[in-house]
């Protein structure tokens, strides 16, 4: 009877040892699985960090474009009436006003002043065109390197996706004021507005009538106003980017919380595995003691 009790005690200890050994193995496997989940969450977090940094970079670039647009618009807006007023002051007409006569006579070389004012007039109009091209290039630099975010600005051309220009069609802009101008020849004004040729400028300075200069001023005036339209693009896209950043930030915070939970859970599994191993060894020692006692 006594031997049977000792035998039952040994069996009980063996079962306990087996349970804790299996528990230790189970917790080890759970820790490994949790480590895989943790690794995937870390990769997800790193990807989110890259995406958020990229979105912030795009937002900063859009802000930079916005500042550039505002700066160009203010500068050109200040000058849009300056040169036409200067031209009117130094231009001799059939019935010049008394102030005009006084101003013209005050110059030592009126012809040179007239040439200089008209030349600056043309250069200012060319600067307006250049401002449009420079702004468009800035948009291209951002949109072309982030095509997935700006798909609506892409178009199919010869079977390939290319980026649309952000600039207005200059001829269409010219048509908006066609009822207000005398000469409706767009090519004439577009050439003088975009040329870098001193020969073409000199020909215009020599041949253009006052009506031509007034038409040219109206064309430059509306082109300057069109620069404001770029702000609508910037504000709309910046809002979209900001919303994406907010969404990604929430997702990143949730991922960080997941990583924290997974880390705590992994540590719990590791601790449970260690405790199970210790208990398994403890009961194994007790079993050895029981077996030794049985022999004695």
> What is d(CA 139, CA 133) in angstroms, rounded to the nearest whole number?
10
pLDDT confidence of residue 12: 81
**CB under 8 Å to 57, separation ≥6 — which residues?**
none
Handedness of CA 119, 124, 126, 127 (dihedral sign): positive
pLDDT confidence of residue 1: 44
- Percent helix / strand / coil, the chain, rounded to 5: 85, 5, 15
- Residue 149's CB: how many other CB atoms inside 10 A? 17
Q: Are 168 and 225 in contact (CB under 8 A)?
A: no
pLDDT tens, N- to C-terminus, the chain (296 residues): 445 545 677 788 788 888 888 988 888 888 889 888 899 999 999 999 999 999 999 999 999 999 999 999 999 988 878 878 877 777 765 444 444 555 555 555 667 778 888 888 888 899 999 999 999 999 999 988 888 888 888 888 787 888 888 999 998 999 998 888 888 888 888 888 887 888 888 888 888 888 888 888 899 999 999 999 999 999 999 999 999 999 999 999 999 999 999 999 999 989 998 998 998 888 888 878 877 776 65
pLDDT confidence of residue 95: 46
pLDDT confidence of residue 5: 47
> What is d(CA 33, CA 262) in angstroms, rounded to the nearest whole number?
10
pLDDT confidence of residue 250: 95
């Amino acid at each position: 009877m006594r031997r049977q009790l000792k035998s039952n005690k040994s069996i009980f200890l063996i079962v306990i040892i087996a349970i804790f050994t299996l528990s230790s193995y189970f917790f080890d496997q759970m820790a490994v699985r949790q480590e895989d989940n943790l690794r995937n969450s870390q990769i997800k977090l790193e990807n989110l960090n890259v995406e958020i940094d990229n979105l912030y970079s795009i937002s900063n670039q859009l802000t930079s474009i916005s500042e550039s647009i505002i700066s160009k618009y203010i500068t050109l807006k200040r000058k849009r009436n300056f040169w036409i007023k200067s031209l009117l002051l130094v231009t001799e007409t059939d019935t010049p006003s008394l102030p005009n006569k006084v101003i013209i006579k005050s110059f030592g070389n009126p012809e040179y002043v007239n040439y200089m004012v008209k030349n600056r007039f043309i250069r200012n109009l060319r600067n307006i065109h250049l401002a449009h091209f420079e702004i468009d290039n800035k948009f291209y630099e951002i949109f072309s390197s982030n095509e997935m975010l700006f798909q609506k600005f892409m178009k199919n051309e010869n079977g390939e996706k290319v980026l649309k220009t952000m600039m207005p069609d200059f001829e269409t802009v010219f048509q908006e004021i066609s009822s207000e101008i005398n000469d409706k020849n767009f090519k004439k004004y577009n050439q003088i507005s975009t040329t870098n040729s001193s020969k073409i400028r000199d020909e215009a300075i020599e041949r253009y009538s006052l009506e031509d200069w007034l038409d040219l001023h109206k064309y430059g005036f509306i082109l300057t106003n069109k620069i404001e339209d770029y702000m609508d693009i910037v504000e709309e896209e910046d809002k979209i980017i900001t919303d994406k950043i907010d969404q990604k930030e929430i997702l990143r915070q949730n991922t960080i919380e997941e990583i924290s939970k997974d880390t705590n859970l992994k540590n719990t599994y590791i601790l449970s595995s260690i405790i199970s191993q210790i208990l398994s060894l403890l009961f194994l020692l007790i079993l050895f003691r029981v077996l030794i006692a049985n022999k004695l």
